[in-house]
Structure 1
Amino acid sequence: MAGTGESKKYTASCHCSLIQYTVTLSPALDSPAAWVVECNCSICARNGYLNVYVQNECVEFETGGEGGMEQYSFARHRVRHYFCSRCGSSIMAESVEPGFYEGVKALNVRMFHDVDTRTLQRRHVDGKSL
Structure 2
Amino acid sequence: MSAPAEKEYVGGCHCRKFRFKFTNAPFEDGAGTVDRCTCKFCAQKGALWLYMPERLFTLTSGSVEELTLYEFYKQVFKHYFCPTCGVQFFFKDTRGAHAEPMVAVNARTVDGVDPEKLSVKVFDGANIL
TM-score, with length taken from structure 2: 0.88
Aligned partners of 2:28 and 2:114 also within 8 Å: no
Match of 1:56 in 2: 54
Aligned partners of 2:37 and 2:122 also within 8 Å: yes
Unmatched tracts of structure 1, length 5 or more: none
Correspondent of 2:41 among 26, 40, 43 = 43
Match of 2:16 in 1: 17
1:15 and 1:32 map into 2 onto residues whose CA distance is 24
Q: After TM superposition, give the deviation of residue 83 of structure 1 in Å.
A: 0.7
Note the 1:71-110 alignment, pairs <5 A.
Answer: 71-97=69-95, 99-101=96-98, 102-110=100-108
Aligned residues: 124
Residue type of the partner of 1:9?
E
Unmatched tracts of structure 2, length 5 or more: none
1:47 and 1:32 map into 2 onto residues whose CA distance is 21
Identity across aligned pairs (percent)? 27
Change beyond 3 A, Cα 1:114–1:33: closer
Q: Secondary structure at the match of 1:12?
A: strand
- Using the TM superposition, name which of 60-69 and 6-15 deviates more: 60-69
Q: Secondary structure at the match of 1:44?
A: helix
The alignment yields a C-alpha RMSD, in angstroms, of: 1.5
Change beyond 3 A, Cα 1:119–1:78: same
Aligned partners of 2:24 and 2:52 also within 8 Å: yes
2:16 and 2:87 map into 1 onto residues whose CA distance is 10
TM-score, with length taken from structure 1: 0.88
Q: After TM superposition, give the deviation of residue 32 of structure 1 in Å.
A: 5.1
Q: After TM superposition, give the deviation of residue 100 of structure 1 in Å.
A: 2.9
